[in-house]
A and B are shown apart, each in its own frame.
Chain A
Amino acid sequence: MVKLKLNLSRYFPYFYIFPVYAFIGIIIIYPIVFLIALSFFDVSLNLRYTFVGLSNFERLFRDRKFINTFKPAAIFVGGSVAGQNGFGFLLSLLLNRKVKGKEFLRALFLIPWLISDLILGYMFLILFDFHGAINDLLKYFGFQPVNWLMSTDLAIWIVTLANVWKSSCIVMAMHSSGLQSIPEELYDAAYVDGASLWQRFRFVTLPLMKPFIALSLIITTVATFNYFGVIYVITYGGPLDSTTVPTFYMYRWAFEWGQLGYASAIGVSVMIINVILTAVYIKILLR
């Protein structure tokens, strides 16, 4: 009797952590496994599956339209990550100083993040439309209006700008918490040693902010690579696919053209790229 009790008690910890593993399994592991499995099937929205092996991937690597999505993706991700982190870090530095009402300003700067993509998209549509406010301003100052959203070169920068405007504040919030964790004494010691403002930033702030910067770079890169909300509303991938990023291309295959298998193959490719990007960041920034 005693022996049985002891044996059972060995397994108690597993019972305690089982809900967490079950949750992770259902919410994270199952969808990933399902996505990977789906990429080996020809399946449309009627959910009839035909096993096709690697042919979705073969087709993907021959699909010029898919390959072409990486050019706008590079601008969208590169521009957004640089803009969000640069602007967000700058804002956090400014708000880390003794500024009157800085808590209010922090809350104010978070508003863009709270705005839905639909409203944000329409705001930028109204601003950058050929008959929109920006062109009205240009005309007022005697310049020719620009067809921002109908230009294959400019449209991607407009959606990037919209994304920077939306998400810089969340980077600001992440960096603010990092800045607040740096002990004031370190700045005092550097000041006593004669360090200039730039030197204090370069040798105190930056090294101690490195883990926060790395984390925010990883998060913004992966988040932007997976995101196409503003693209959907502002340009719908156009003109001429110049703003079609891989995830939006995946979305169209899944929900517009109804080919879930092929869309899943795109999804798996995007996931692999995200893993590689994250690994590179970790390797470079946290070594």
Chain B
Amino acid sequence: MEGKKEGRRDYLKTVGAAIAGAIIGGALGWVAKPAAPGVTETVTVTKTVTAKPTPVKGTFVMSYPNGYAGHYIHLKEAFDILRITNPELRPEYVGKTWGEYYEWLLTVFAAGEPPDMPMIDCIWIPKFVELGYLEPLDEYIAEWPDWENWIPTFKEGMIWDGHVYGIWLNTDARVWWYWKEFFPEGFPSTLEDIIDKAKRLKAEGKPQIATWVGAAIYPFMCIYCSICPEDRLKSPGWGLFEIKDGKLYPIFDDEYGVRSMEYILEMKKAGIEFIDIPGFSASYDKFFEKKISALFAGTWMSGQALARGYKYEDWEKYFGAAPWPPPRGGRVHAGIPGGWVAVIPKNAKMPKDLIWEYIRILVDESVVGKVFAELGYLPTRRDAFDIVVEKSKDPFMDDYLSYFKNVYIRPEITEWERVSKAIDDAQWSVILERKKPDEAIKDAAKEVAEILGW
């Protein structure tokens, strides 16, 4: 327990989270909140309501990925507050599965009929900005003191060509969830130990360890971020590229990239299962049916456990959660966090000021603190962390937050989908033993160079 607190303190230190008394005041009537962590039930969401001189009528359309009900609950919680001052505003919640959501959004944006407030995956922002679909939020941000409370990583991730295009609502850490009965000695703390454990599970005929393969993150970037020089990860190339002639140039095919691929091959030979994109959803069931003993996905596994009826109080009896174990001598990190972003579409039907007001309610630390604590999301603003920790019943929340000691976000480039596919193909070439690790990663780098215009 002490270790968990230590981890939390580390995180808070890292992100500079000792914000005493987040000031949310301002001309629109936002009020100052007590200093975290002394947040009490007296902090109510209704305090955040701003006075609107002219209530807006009509249908306010919000869209979200409906893999898990949490997003809907978050949107609804905030909308109920917005409706206090706009009683004739009707909500329309449009939920789509993750796969179809991206294409649906692109289609409705292209048709000029976007939702008034869509939640957008953080990795889609550059594409939507490039297509000219999003309203810059600079003017709103300039008059919004809360922006200072955002963790720099999640703040910078929303800036494109010097403009802010979204507010990062929630995030996650990529973690292993495992059944304790198959890991009585605890989860392996190094990649070498995971490989040994997989061999033992295979020999004993027990359910195997499994990881997703996709978005270049699973498992390539998790290994790569553990072993490549840290200053490189903090560079504008996100560890994968360097800036050459003002353009990105892939450098991930060096010794660290090759070594990462070699680890993937070792994992495969040890019996670890690799799951492709169509199998992502089904992998939750496999985990909870104990067909696999450990699954590397994300902190949203908490929500998956809740959805299957596992009560918080029983979790520690059955499950454990662990970060990606680095190779011996490597560094622990939060994986490559993702998350969902609130944006204002240029073609939104509702007044943009109203949408902005709604976004502010969505990210008000009292709403975030309340909703995330119940649903297992991680906040992106520093002053909400203590509220979440204070209120959360999730036994792994402290662990999750401790993994944020080192946070790296994935590249924010418009070509990321194609770049990540090239890296995923390299991973599969190695897993399916079609190419040697060095050959696979060098081919991927060559392809990525072409994608980036070299």
Contact = CB atoms under 8 A, between A and B. Distances in A.
Q: Bound pair: A and B?
A: yes
A78 interface: no
B403 interface: no
B417 A129 contact: no
Contact of B418 (A126, A152, A257): A257
Given A152-B432, A257-B417, A258-B127, A238 B276 contact: yes
11 contacts: A46-B130, A125-B279, A126-B282, A131-B291, A150-B276, A151-B432, A236-B278, A238-B276, A255-B103, A256-B103, A258-B127
B375 to A, nearest CB: 26
A210 to B, nearest CB: 40
B425 A129 contact: no
Contacts of B102: 256
Given A150-B432, A236-B277, A47 B425 contact: no
B131 A131 contact: no
A256 B273 CA distance: 27
Interface string B108-150: 0110000000000000000100111100000000000000000
Given A234-B278, A238-B276, A240-B428, A258 B434 contact: no
Contacts of A152: 432, 434
Nearest to B435: A240
Given A131-B286, A258-B127, 6 more contacts: A46-B133, A125-B279, A129-B279, A152-B434, A239-B428, A256-B417
A79 B286 CA distance: 31
A45 B428 contact: no
Nearest to B207: A131
Interface string A230-249: 00011110111100000000
B278 A233 contact: yes
A258 B273 contact: no
Given A45-B131, A129-B282, A240 B110 contact: no
A226 interface: no
Interface string A112-151: 0000000000000110011100000000000000000111
A46 B347 CA distance: 12
Contacts, number: 62
Contacts of B40: none
Contacts of A47: 110
The A interface, classified by DSSP as helix, strand, loop or mixed, is loop
Contact of A45 (B106, B277, B417, B418): B106
A269 interface: no
Interface of A: 44-47, 125-126, 129-131, 149-152, 233-236, 238-241, 255-258
A197 B382 CA distance: 82
A230 to B, nearest CB: 11
Contacts of A241: 425
Contact of A46 (B132, B276, B292): B132
A149 B276 contact: yes
A258 B132 CA distance: 13
B59 interface: no
Interface string B341-353: 0000000000000
A239 B279 CA distance: 12
Nearest to B277: A236
Contacts of B133: 46
A239 B433 CA distance: 12
B276 A258 contact: no
Nearest to A132: B282
- 4 closest Cβ contacts across the A-B interface? A46-B131, A131-B291, A255-B103, A45-B110
Contact of B276 (A131, A239, A255, A256): A239
A150 B107 CA distance: 31
B176 interface: no
A257 B124 CA distance: 11
